[in-house]
Structure 1
């Protein structure tokens, strides 16, 4: 009798609990769907988490206390801190940096003195593209991709707003409104190739297994061809080029992407480099006009045929989160190996690599030691100099330095110090011989 009573009581409890158990089961299953298959509200949760992390990292920036582009440094002295006059390549250094609270383009002499500067106001160039915080746009503006001509004209990529050509007096010559970023280069006929992206919000039948990420879209990396007069001539998709080349293996090489790609930024191109005719004979695998790009998120450098736009060559590694590969006159490729592992260097510091594309062998590498050791969790650029030295950017460390490859020694350094212990980010850098800078004796009229 007691056993029968207990069974009745247990059955009664199960009956009373079953609606809650059912709800719990539904919540559990739906939670799996949110986490694994991006069911709503996955996108909203992702945006909220990203916003919270952004505020955690950049609250001083948003409150106007200190720019996010000013970061801690062990350096206490700014300007030129190393200068070996016998070994450093003499010239003027064109640099984009966060300077005096905003992104600017500067021209430095070898002593670190600013001999010229270019500024711009994106509110005047792209008023329709600045929808949020127009008052803070000068603080938030990021120049990422720049080039200077001997006459003092500059081309500047203003991140995700557009590209502008300024004359030597910072007067706009033309601008385009596109999501441009990272890099640009000049074709033999004078046209520009500019790195851009397009947000794709839908699935497309010609791109099987490629789906929008948690933000509701993915970034389709593009190259934009612009005439010398600023007219957009065409824009072509690097994702489509991979499909056309039957190189989907590159696109789907990320974690879990053997099933499908559901990420915001599957490739993240940070380079466009055109092989010029003077160097082409040194590269048995390539021809003049071939185009090199750098897909950071899959640790891969690709060379496209300049005419067919199909993949001609690629190498994945031996680098991690790389930036800015350059063709060298000896038939090698020089690149900036970030070794990105988030906020801390877990696989070694950032280094410079020289790679032979025949066999993808490392033939030279440099990793700074002591006070010259550095790690960049994003960004990065290097530039080979005519005397064989290499000019490199420590972006988050706020400095430029010149390395002599044979000795591995730093023979020139400039630190963009804001105050002791804090330096402004440095993004782009190029050293020009003195005879290629022909505008310094031409004054600009005072601002109206």
Structure 2
């Protein structure tokens, strides 16, 4: 009898001890990231993601790419208001509101805000391994013949399509974010953790520059100090330094074109302006050696889309992630230069996107803005006044994410889209 009682007490003590040990280990493992905390966290995140986006993954509704409207007018009547002050077209890249036609789309709007053409982007024609609803059209470059070069986030392709959306060429690899033409027959884009140069006519990979393999190995103290601050040294210092997950997040590369090089005597035509989001770093890089000719940390935070400007300055899309306010900054690339805030949102013209976003300085000084996470395109004056805006409407409550807005003059295209394009039969 006594033996049975003590056996029970012993069993209870053993179970309680195990529970306490498990609780203590669970607490410590969550702090330290020990097994099984990461696995449990991943399982929870996967469960929440599936629950929230099952319609997206079944191609029923693009829930992963719907956002709350930006700006002041967020009601169901929102749409296009105002109008550009100049003749020309605005291209807008993002998700299609006509999901039965294509998942992604590039619109072409005239001065009156009317859509005069659209490029249906069929990702499944370009890459058979990834589902269209799980990638995002991001980089876009337009040609005078009406064709487009495109890149995708979370995808595996760069492609050029004709005016009807049919592939001219494709190249499969992890191309992402931005894409620009260098004026010499090459596209400059992002490949994995670096920059790539692509022949715009054939899609041939001509050259690439990797941050970890090329830029961080430049024999220059400034380079080492710039990049090693984001590394994790192994216990054995004799081993190679290992990088944290996505320590740089390169999100833009723009070549200095020959027709603008005279405004930047400190650089050469072909040098590349890059943005490393996680370092809050904007830099100009020599394409062959990877040597940085100029760089600056901040005051921008989690920035995108630095641009060379004709007046010899560089403008930067400062996301200001977490601050509730995005800005356009301007800096002259010389030592110790002050940074000017060109545009910041206000109560009258709110402006904020915590990620993504593009800007284009127009000939009259106005700025065209792609407020990605607000699903809105807007043009503002240097004084911060709203000229016009367009919401990319999905339904009464949500907008579609946009990733690019681009103005081109009326005579840009060889053939007028107002007079129609060749018969664009589906593939």
The TM-score with structure 1 as length reference comes to 0.79
Cα distance between partner residues in 1 of 2:333 and 2:398: 39
Residue in 1 that maps onto 2:238: none
1:375-428 alpha-carbon deviations (Å, 9 max, x no partner) = 2121110011122211111112111111111x2211121111223332111111
Distance 1:284 1:253 in 2: 30
Which of 225, 246, 257 is the equivalent residue of 1:265? 246
Contact 1:70–1:98 (Cα < 8 Å) also in 2: no
Q: Is the 8 A contact 1:67 1:139 kept in 2?
A: no
Partner of 1:200: none
> In the alignment, what sits opposite 2:359?
382
Secondary structure class of the residue paired with 1:118 = strand
Is contact 1:89-1:387 (8 Å) kept?
no
Q: 2:388 aligns with which of 393, 401, 412?
A: 412
Contact 1:332 1:354 in 2 (8 A): yes
Which residue matches 2:410?
434
Give 2:215's aligned residue: 242
Of 332-341 and 139-148, more deviation after overlay is shown by 139-148
Structure-1 residue corresponding to 2:194? 222
Equivalent in the alignment of 2:145: 151
Unaligned runs of 5+ in 2: 1-8, 235-240
Deviation of the 1:162 alpha carbon:
0.7
Q: Note the alpha carbon deviations across 1:152-205, whole angstroms, 9 max, x for none.
A: 0100113222111011122211001111111112234312222121xxxxxxxx
Aligned to 1:193, which of 188, 193, 207?
188
**Equivalent residues in 2 for 1:39-438, closer than 5 Å:** 39-41=34-36, 43-55=38-50, 58=53, 61-62=56-57, 64-65=60-61, 67-73=63-69, 74-83=74-83, 88-100=85-97, 101=99, 102-127=103-128, 129-130=129-130, 137-159=131-153, 160-197=155-192, 221-227=193-199, 228-245=201-218, 246=220, 247-254=223-230, 257=232, 263-341=244-322, 347-358=323-334, 359-405=336-382, 407-438=383-414
Residues 141, 181 of structure 2: 8 Å contact kept:
no
Aligned-CA RMSD value: 3.0
**Conserved? CA contact 2:281–2:297, under 8 Å:** yes
Match of 1:207 in 2: none
Structure 1 residues 365 and 348: alpha-carbon distance in aligned structure 2, compared to 1, 3 A threshold: farther
User: Structure 1 residue runs of 4+, over 4 Å off?
Assistant: 16-35, 38-43, 256-262
Partner Cα distance (1:120, 1:426) in 2: 14
Deviation track 1:296-339 (CA, whole Å, cap 9, x = no partner) reads 11211121113322122211110111000001111111111111
Where 2:45 maps in the other structure, the secondary structure is helix
